[in-house]
Structure 1
Amino acid sequence: MQKAKVYYRELVAGILEQYDGGYRFTYDQDYLNMEKPMPISLTLPLSPYPYLSRILFPFFDGLIPEGWLLHIAREQWNFKKNDRFELLINLCRDTIGAVTVYPEEEEENG
């Protein structure tokens, strides 16, 4: 199982996990208990219950670069062609929007 921390404006908003059956996103309880937490997406409203999906949630998939930038990243770092989770955790650490994604291992070791 691979895990990634999902940040909303530099606050840990939740954990995204990839496992044999698909994907799970769970909001962090401390994030939910904040005064005015914001959902990371309209398709993933605030909830104490995990969201499950057989495919990578469209919101997260939409964060992955496309076109020439994706092509360069795949060639430069030799990512597996169809591993969207690997692309997400390696290419979405500095996104244009409020949400960023970091591999959990890197957070623990860094």
Structure 2
Amino acid sequence: MRRALVLSNNVVAGVLTETDDMHYIFKYDDAYLVEPEQRSISLSFPKRKEEYISDELFPFFFNMLSEGANKTIQCRTLKIDEEDSFGLLLATAGHDTIGAITIQEL
């Protein structure tokens, strides 16, 4: 199992988990949920207490990844399998992302 903090403008918004059986779970942090000024991380993840569960990496997070030649270069440089989207997300989405969301490995 691999886990990552999901931050919105450097505030912990929740935790993204890849389970051992290749399911994905996103759960908002309780403290983030009760703060009215903290917005949902995206339209596809409205703030709620229940977990979001998927059989594949959620499109919102998948779209944070590079594509094409850039992805190939990143994977070679970081020694990450090109099919390991979660690993690539952990390795590359901690800095210089487009937008307010960043990812930090737990």
**What is the TM-score with the length of structure 1 in the denominator?**
0.90
Q: Percent identity?
A: 36
Which of 96, 99, 107 is equivalent to 2:98? Answer: 96
Aligned to 2:34: 33
Per-residue deviation, residues 30-82 of structure 1 (Å, max 9, x unmatched):
00111322111101110111000000000000001122321211111110120
Q: Which runs of 5+ in 2 are unaligned?
A: none
Distance in 2, matches of 1:21 and 1:89, equals 15
TM-score normalised by L of structure 2: 0.93
User: RMSD in angstroms over aligned alpha carbons?
Assistant: 1.0
- Between the two proteins, the alignment pairs up a number of residues equal to 104
d(CA) in 2 for partners of 1:45 and 1:35? 13
Following superposition, the deviation at residue 103 of structure 1 comes to 0.4
- Partner residue of 1:73? 74
In structure 2, how many angstroms separate the alpha carbons of the residues matched to 1:47 and 1:32? 7
Task: Tell me the distance in 2 between the aligned counterparts of 1:21 and 1:75.
Answer: 23
> Which residue matches 1:6?
6
Q: Which runs of 5+ in 1 are unaligned?
A: 105-110
